[in-house]
Amino acid sequence: MQNPPPGQPGTPTGSPQSAVGLEPNIAAALSYIWIVGVIFYLLEKENRYIRFHAMQSILFGIANSLIMLVLAIAAFVLTMVFGIGGAMAGGPVSTLVTLIIWLMWLLFWLIGIVLFATLIFSAVKAYQGQKFKLPVIGNMAENIVNK
């Protein structure tokens, strides 16, 4: 969550346009559109600022996909086992089971909104020229880019 020193190679203020033909801060912000991040990471060979944000976007996209997949499967299984399974067995679906199913789906959507807000926040920070690092993922991205 630090700003890099001005004029350091790989920062938006010390770099000319990127290999993709955009200002570094614009390219870094656009890289938070997941597929654009993959493309920019593959095309950009020199600018570490863009490569960092592109790799952070890629890793965040992978983590985001895995989290949402696990939550969707868990919500689906809970719905099938307790909701439909209970109704097919002839017994009434208990209020507690219904509440658990609704809470699971609510959690799915709330986490999705938080992850989307994190993505927007990261893109804004990149546009402002800040090398904002997400917890865990930021250090991983930095290690990959610095190899």
**Closest residue by Cα to residue 38 from 55, 20, 17:** 55
Tell me the pTM. Answer: 0.76
Query: Please, which pLDDT band fits residue 133 given cuts at 50, 70 and 90?
Result: very high
pLDDT of residue 12: 53
- Give the model confidence (pLDDT) of 86-132 as tens digits: 666 556 666 767 777 788 888 888 998 999 999 999 999 999 998 88
Q: CA–CA separation, 127 vs 117, rounded Å?
A: 15
Across the range 64-93, mean pLDDT stands at 76
